[in-house]
Structure 1
Amino acid sequence: MSPLSRRSFLRGSSLAAAGLAAGALPAALQAAAPAAATAGAGPVLLNFNECPLGPSPAAQEAVRAILPASGRYLFGLRGGLAAEFAHQHGLPVDHVAVYAGSSDPLDRAALAFTGPQRPLVLADPTFEAVADTAAAQGAAVHRVRLRADGSHDVRAMAAAAPQAGLVYVCNPNNPTGSVTARAELDWLLANKPAGSVLLVDEAYIEYSQERSMLDHVRAGADVVVLRTFSKIYGMAGLRLGLALGRPDLLAKLAAFGSNPLPATALAAGLASLRDPGLVPERRRANALVRDQTIAWLQARGYPCLPSQANCFMVDVGTDGREFAAAMAGHGVLIGRSWPVWPSRVRVTVGTGEEMARFREVFALLAPARAAAA
């Protein structure tokens, strides 16, 4: 199976996957599959790196409050959100651009900075939407294997394509949740191919204790940083994100057109930014459930990469696609595997109750082995 971008993967219904009949499962797993998931319970959705908590109470109230006025474009909200983020992070406001999620500026970066003579360099595996867009316009795509600990091999990336137009780093990385040390990213920025732009996707940065690359944005470096409200802020369906960089770099993204943003998303984003306890509390709660689940899996002999995000990868020791299908047959939807790691599957961190159900089904399908190192 070829890699699927988030965009193409979302075309398939996760709910349909939960209804896989036992006969559609691999023969080796059919015997273990029950007729349905727990009676009366919907599927457990651990497949798209969503936040199970949804928008914060303050964000939900902001949506309700703005709804009667949303017959207007309310253009000022966009500037208000940019100004709030700029103030909190010490950026000039013209270094902040607001989009409907971070996939939009991600695609724009591929369009602006890659082409037939300007390759793209990225890790393998990582979030590959930028590779899909770059390849569609004739750019060569150079994939560099992650290190054994899940970090980016920045020296190999710097050397992969001397004419590269764009170097993409997702930190913490999707699908692994692993981080690349700030010193390594500093080295990559200083040693990337001349004339290229470093695109740092910080969709999961709030889940970690890692330092953002925003100080390089403030310093005017050849870097664009992406942020999203889809993850820790629980706004995946509302669609809100940011691109952060020098005005001339942001102008290249903006050259591909613009569109008014939903007033509901902007109001929810502002309320989320102004809630000082939201990120620390959600970071703590996610880490607790994530680390407990990883420890349980490794104690049963199933190794996981270290994660500082709301997802992790576990080596199930068999075909990852088949294992994910079997889990879906029990009403627990997990992420996919990648061609470079066919036996590893991505799992989103859900609530404590959801992860308990995950462990129950995992134990049914995967017997304990010698403890993983």
Structure 2
Amino acid sequence: MPSFSQDLSGCQPFSRRSFLRSASAAVVAAPILTEAHFARAAMGAAAVPEFSMNGVYLDANENPLGPSDSARKAIADIIPNGGRYAPPLYFSLIKMFAEQMGVPAEYVMVYDGSSPPLHYSSLAFTSPTKSFVCGNPTYEAGQRAATIAGAKIHAVPLAKDHSHDVAAMIKADPNAGLIYICNPNNPTGTTTSKEQIDYAIANKPAGAVVLVDEAYIHLSDATSAIDHVKVGKDVIVLRTFSKIYGMAGIRCGFAIARPDLLKKLENYGQSPMPITGMIAAQASLMDSDLVPTRKKLIAETRNKTFAWLKANDYSFIPSESNCFMIDVKRPGPQIRALMAKDNVHIGRSWAALPTYVRVTVGLPSEMEAFQTSFKKAMDTPATAFNGLQGRMHRDGIYS
């Protein structure tokens, strides 16, 4: 593992300039939203604000396994240096990740998760004359940022197999500024084929940037779009350590793109990276068994849950990610509210799929608790929702 005082050779020319630009970049007065914000909002005003891990939380696409053992040790070892900013860690992390991805170091920028570069990309490439194009439903943070930029939003329905309808997306607006493809998609957990993404990039409106959010890619068999970055296309790829690496609360992520595209993101600022996040990310990248081991474990738990859903005749969208959607045949928040009484918290619903709820794949024991609570809620007579609906409106959890 790189030492705390590692030399900056190998990425010094780019990294020093980038680091100084980042330190002095303008800050936009607009909130950067993460999955945690949306999950908290869905819980409503009645949710307890204090931090507590009591109960089962399957609502924010978190990884309950947490950081790997090597990442935890790295964090513990670096705590005595917590009074330092440690720029060498920043540079060495970029160099390590760039080498693994097969791109030059100047094609990589590190952030505290993938939410900041998603937010900054929306601000940088959309405007009142350059629209934001996305699937529907999909992760909402990019749309929120584009709205702040005054951009028009084109939310294009997903295809019948719940992949992105890329043909419809590229036709949505000849003046599109940013085309957002979340692959695998959040909330459906479905993938869009590499061929479809290739088509979108080849046929996009001139000047538009395609942003491929690969936050969940390690959980699936999807092929990365990184090859388009390597040949200099108008493409930004996002990666995060929040999902399979279990670092949602520690924070680290990357934007991978041509330097001129990354420079436009820098205009909107970049917070100093916590040294715990950087050192944990390095340790995670060095653990060659981490991704395949966790991918297998999460897939096994997910598929066992799918088998149970099928056995009980519940309709769901097959997923390759750490979340999936179930059609509860009634407004989703009703089931969510009933399950919360059992201290089992599932995810929200989307306007495009109002009778579906999103469920995060948790530990096997958590999924057993989910099954018990979910069946209890689904077996509740429809008349029980009459009074519940009023309380949900009152508490602000009816979406």
2:35 touches 2:61 (CA, 8 Å); kept in 1? no
Cα distance in structure 2, aligned partners of 1:152 and 1:195: 21
Cα distance in structure 1, aligned partners of 2:207 and 2:304: 44
Residue in structure 2 matched with residue 145 of structure 1 by the alignment:
157
Query: Structure 1's 198 and 320: CA in aligned 2 closer, same or farther, altered over 3 A?
Result: same
2:179 touches 2:210 (CA, 8 Å); kept in 1? yes
Q: Which runs of 5+ in 1 are unaligned?
A: 20-40, 369-373
TM-score normalised over the length of structure 1: 0.89
1:165 touches 1:196 (CA, 8 Å); kept in 2? yes
Shift of 1:195: 0.6
1:126 touches 1:174 (CA, 8 Å); kept in 2? yes
Deviations 1:274-319 (A, max 9, x none): 0000000000000000011112112212111121110000101111
Residue in structure 2 matched with residue 57 of structure 1 by the alignment:
69
Asked whether 1:242 is paired with 2:271, we answer no
- Give, as a single letter, the amino acid of the residue that structure 1 aligns with 2:78: I
Shift of 1:226: 0.3
Residue in structure 1 matched with residue 326 of structure 2 by the alignment:
314
Residue in structure 1 matched with residue 19 of structure 2 by the alignment:
none
Q: Which moved more, 1:329-338 or 1:299-308?
A: 299-308
Residue in structure 2 matched with residue 9 of structure 1 by the alignment:
38
Aligned to 1:98, the other structure's residue is in SS state: strand
Shift of 1:258: 2.6
1:174 to 176, 179, 186: 186
Aligned to 1:183, the other structure's residue is in SS state: helix
Cα distance in structure 1, aligned partners of 2:155 and 2:166: 12
TM-score normalised over the length of structure 2: 0.83
Cα distance in structure 2, aligned partners of 1:364 and 1:237: 32
Query: Structure 1's 18 and 282: CA in aligned 2 closer, same or farther, altered over 3 A?
Result: farther
Residue in structure 1 matched with residue 128 of structure 2 by the alignment:
116
Matched pairs, number? 344
- Give, as a single letter, the amino acid of the residue that structure 1 aligns with 2:99: H
Residue in structure 2 matched with residue 223 of structure 1 by the alignment:
235
1:335 touches 1:345 (CA, 8 Å); kept in 2? yes
Q: How does 1:216-295 map to 2 (within 5 A)?
A: 216-295=228-307
Asked whether 1:329 is paired with 2:358, we answer no
2:34 touches 2:115 (CA, 8 Å); kept in 1? no
Shift of 1:230: 0.4
Cα distance in structure 2, aligned partners of 1:287 and 1:185: 24
2:98 touches 2:108 (CA, 8 Å); kept in 1? yes
Query: Structure 1's 13 and 267: CA in aligned 2 closer, same or farther, altered over 3 A?
Result: farther
Higher relative contact order (CA 8 A, sep 6+): 1
Shift of 1:210: 1.0
Query: Structure 1's 85 and 303: CA in aligned 2 closer, same or farther, altered over 3 A?
Result: same
Cα distance in structure 1, aligned partners of 2:310 and 2:167: 30
1:155 touches 1:188 (CA, 8 Å); kept in 2? yes
Q: How does 1:74-153 map to 2 (within 5 A)?
A: 74-153=86-165
Identity of aligned residues (%): 50
Q: Which runs of 5+ in 2 are unaligned?
A: 1-32, 381-399
Name segments (4+ residues, structure 1) moved above 2 Å.
Answer: 4-19
Root-mean-square deviation (Å): 1.8
